Amino acid sequence: MRYNKQMEFSDYNPSESDPKMQTLWLDAKYAEYSAEGSKKTHSVFLIPPNISGPIHIGNALMVALQDIEARYHRAKGESVLWVPGLDHGGYETQVTYERSAEERGITKARHEYRSEQLYTSIEEFVAEHRSTIAQQISSLGASVDWSRLRYTLDEPALAAAHNTFQNLVRDGLVVRKSYMVHYCPHCATVLADIELKKKEVTATRYAISFKQRDSEDAVVIETVAPEQLFSMTHILVHIDDKRYSHLIGSTLINPCTGAEVQIVKSTRDIKWHTQRTYLATFLPSFDRYDYEYAIRNNLPARSYLNWEGLLLERYPGDNLQTAHNAEVEYLKEQGALSAEHEGEMTQMLCKKGHEIVDLIRLSWFLDIDGEQISIRKKTLEVIENEKLHIHPAWRKKGLVEWLHKMIDWPISRQNVWGVSMPVWYLVEDASQFMVWFFDDQDQRHYGNLQELLDAGHTFEVISAGLQRVYASAQVVWTTDPVEGGLYLKETDTFDTWFTSGAWSVFVFKDLEGVDFDSVYPSESVVIGSDLLRLSIARKLFMSVYLTGKMPFEYVYFHPLVLGADGQKMSKSLGNSVSLNTYLDVYGADVTRMSLVSYMDQAHDFVFEESNLMQYQEFVQDVWRVARAYNVILDHNVTAKSAGRLNDVDFAIVRTLRGLGKSVGGDIERHFYARAQEKVVAALPEIEQLVQRAAATGSVSAASAFLQMWQQYLIVLHPFAPHVSEAVYQSIPDKQSDLLATAYWPR
């Protein structure tokens, strides 16, 4: 018999088939968690994507990897709980909203809105993205439990965040103190390192002569920021730097102020010094590196900038650029500016492109080494005792080192969009407050609270229209205001990383029909390699604090999908690569498999469209081979028709029978790319059977194919769920209603 003529079929059409398979899965509710009998539970949660816009191709990688894991463990017969979530995004979402408003011609700045108006506007902006993001995740084929969708601003999450903060306060782990932070005067908020971008710019470098105290000789100091020199406390020379070691112990006269400045020896990283061709200034009031060194060594560091980034001394009320120009002119007049030339410098910008400043200001911090509880010590002990597993393994050393050296964590932002801090300031002395508020006529006012009250503004109007409050260090604060007392509510919101830090616990709390102790800690977390410190370290700290246990047993750090500009993709930076572009053209399976194929490398990558072609051809090959199944059945051939297979066909069957065990082992070890490649490499073996059956009518080859095809589809399913399910649905003698619920071959 021959099968050739009847095996001509149309290509697989993902735009038509993928939605049908997704509807099939959703209607069957197969991904909804149920703790049946004594089944082992496999719990995971989706790192919630930022709700500021549609997910990008980098988010899709995380989804694809977790879906491989979830589908595999279901096939093993385990009860899988995969909780989807959405992150409100805090600062990044507010920036994305503002950029969108500007593109629509709305130029109103954030400080021109009442807080509740701006919050509502952002809420309306992100509302449209909720269904879009959910649809994208579904379009990727993610087998999440949609009945348990969580959001970082839903009521249970808000209550959990507030309760956690209050518990931290109770345990003495929340402090309000002065510390140097990154601050954007335009956005009027503190920013974390990850929220900044670097830009190399050309800047004027000034050579400034400092006379020696007991000599007419001068020492030249170079700087791009002469406006900071008035605050200089020392000049550093490394003990191994032979160029300037003879100057150690000398005293210079600061030409900006006439004050004495001593040259002292330093033991800090010698490369940092020798890479410079000039002496290093020590500016703990302006330079983050110097400030943290000063704090570690109990050296003085004063604040010379107010919370708006304006100078308090030397040029009070001026911003740094204005002071820069004035200082250059002053140094020229003094004859101290000996030369200037162009050079390169790194500028730190917020995500809207504003230059940030480092300033010392009162901020909220989580004390990770509290007197009552040391979260650091507790976390490191748990990691040691419970053996946290990390891929790649070498990153564990970096994580532990970071946990050892991590400083207190600033947990507040001056954004409107976010989780409000449950803090109230007791107003006993109104002169200790600066406030910004809108009156009943929507006029914005700013100033000292006492002076505003004296000017006739009522406390009730100020409190009702409060946009921002800044209280001095002496003010008493509480999380439990007493009825009848005079209080102003803190206007700061929590840093997004604070809420996401506890998300590993929050996400499983209060889920109907779920026993928390049976699903926590979760099995694993899949996350970008750039989030070791900001996300994973904080999740470990917060989860150990809340439960005494690690939040997950395994961390898989995947390399990053970079934008075309070579930078990490970010919605607020506007360099994200649209996921829909690939889904529309290639379908979910090709997109997923192409992304997963990059997991055999350690470095970040730019997703190249040419890589998709290989997997597009593979998916079409699966579809074409699948057509042979029913054709062979139509010729009354069964898996047992051949009786004993010939040696060639038996060798192929033996190889394919070991595929499930081999691929399953790789998935469990999180070798996703290797597992996928084994599945891809096995298809030509099956094609040989089909081709031999078609060309020669071999009953042995046809029977071998019928024996192995369903098993192959089951092993393929975690990697290419749509085409494998579509093929499976066409099989008349299938093992189960859904391929998604078929058991993994052993």
Mean pLDDT of 476-484: 95
pLDDT of residue 6 exceeding 60, the answer is no
Compute the C-alpha angle 662/666/668, nearest 5°: 115
Kindly state the average pLDDT of the residues 575-598: 88
Annotated domain spans of the chain: 197-349, 424-491, 606-741
In whole angstroms, what separates CA 192 from the centre of its chain? 12
In the prediction, which pLDDT does 692 show? Answer: 84
pLDDT on residue 38? 60
What is the mean pLDDT of the segment spanning 225-247?
A: 89
Report yes or no: 414 and 468 within 8 Å, Cβ to Cβ: yes
**pLDDT at residue 5 in the model:** 38
Answer with the residue of higher pLDDT: 260 or 406.
Answer: 260
Pick 191 or 745 by higher pLDDT: 745
- The pLDDT of residue 4 is above 60: no
Would the pLDDT of 7 be above 50? no
Handedness of CA 31, 36, 39, 45 (dihedral sign): positive
The first and second tokens of residue 700, run together, are: 């042995």
Bridge partners of residue 365, in order along the sequence: 175, 410
Helix (H) or strand (E) holding 359: strand 357-366
Q: Is 70 exceeded by the pLDDT of residue 26?
A: yes
Residue 565: pLDDT over 80: no
Q: What is the pLDDT of residue 529?
A: 85
* Number of C-beta neighbours around residue 651 at 10 A: 13
DSSP state for residue 578 in the 8-state scheme: B
Confidence of residue 3 (pLDDT cuts 50, 70, 90): very low
Residue 465: what pLDDT? 96
Determine the pLDDT at residue 295. Answer: 85
Residue 746 has pLDDT above 50, yes or no: yes
Q: Which residue has the higher pLDDT, 56 or 744?
A: 744
Tens digits of per-residue pLDDT, 335-363? Answer: 999 888 888 888 999 888 899 999 998 99
Task: Output the pLDDT for position 241.
Answer: 83
The mean pLDDT value of the chain amounts to: 90
DSSP 3-state of 546:
helix
pLDDT of residue 8: 44
* Averaged pLDDT, 698-726: 93
Average pLDDT over residues 94-107: 89
* pLDDT score for 272: 58
Q: What is the DSSP letter of 465?
A: T
Range of weakest confidence among 111-120, 140-149, 182-191: 182-191
Q: Which residues pair with 207 in a beta bridge?
A: 222, 339
CATH of domain 197-349: 3.90.740.10
- Rounded (to 5) percent helix, strand, coil in the chain: 45, 20, 35
Enumerate the β-bridge partners of residue 83.
45
CB atoms within 10 A of CB 578: 13
For residue 243, pLDDT over 90 is answered with: no
| pTM for this prediction | 0.86
Task: Give the per-residue pLDDT at 627.
Answer: 87
Residues 560-586: what's their mean pLDDT?
72
Residue 283 burial by Cβ neighbours in a 10 Å radius (0-12, 13-18, 19+): buried
Q: For residue range 167-212, what is the model confidence (pLDDT) as tens digits?
A: 999 999 999 998 898 999 888 888 877 678 888 999 999 999 999 9
How far apart are the C-alpha atoms of 49 and 704, rounded to whole Å?
A: 45
Q: Is the pLDDT of residue 273 over 90?
A: no
Per-residue pLDDT, averaged over 467-472, amounts to 95
Counting residues of the chain whose pLDDT is more than 90, the rounded percentage is 61
Residue 368 has pLDDT above 50, yes or no: yes
Give residue 16's pLDDT band: very low, low, confident or very high (50, 70, 90): very high
d(CA 198, CA 349): 6
Q: What percent of the chain has pLDDT over 70?
A: 95
Residue 742 pLDDT class (50, 70, 90 cuts): very high
- Torsion, Cα of 355, 535, 548, 364 (10° steps): 10
| CATH top-level class of 606-741 | mainly alpha
Q: Is 730 helix (H, G, I), strand (E, B) or coil?
A: coil
- Could you read off the pLDDT of 637-690 as tens digits, one per residue? 776 766 788 888 899 889 999 999 999 999 999 999 999 999 999 999 999 898
